[in-house]
Amino acid sequence: MKKSIQEIAKNDGRYSLRAFQFVHEGLEYSVKKFYGSDTPIDEPHHITGKQLCEGLADLASDKWGRMAKLTLNKLGIKATIDFGNIVYLMVDNKWMHARPEDSIEDFHNIYDFETVFEKNYKFRT
């Protein structure tokens, strides 16, 4: 029986339930960003770890603006490798899928949170 996201978060303990929900939401957001907004989500679409990290940065900025870094940090996410840790916990528990060529290393040092969310933050009109 597949574990719930709540169980995965509780058993792991590093990240809040909201962190898992954010990454799961970010997957759909990223697929639409890279494949187009009319892409059916119920069909499998592969994106790379780098693409997912980029999508998650955009989603965080859209949702929380200049508070994105602080909000992600409160969820336990301090670097892009944390996105990878969450993804692979979800892969291990059948909430997401990875290809054999995918690796947790695909999430290592994609960008610096301070640079993306603070120094280079662009206000949206």
pLDDT digits (tens, 9 = 90+) for 12-71: 999 999 999 999 999 989 988 888 877 666 666 789 999 999 999 999 999 999 999 999
* The pLDDT of residue 11 is above 80: yes
Domain boundaries, the chain: 5-119
Q: In this prediction, what percent of the chain has a pLDDT beyond 90?
A: 73
How far is the C-alpha of 29 from the C-alpha of 2, rounded, in Å?
Answer: 24
Average pLDDT over residues 80-107: 94
* The pLDDT of residue 7 is above 90: yes
Question: pLDDT at position 43, please?
Answer: 65
φ, ψ of residue 14 to 5 degrees: the values are -80, -30
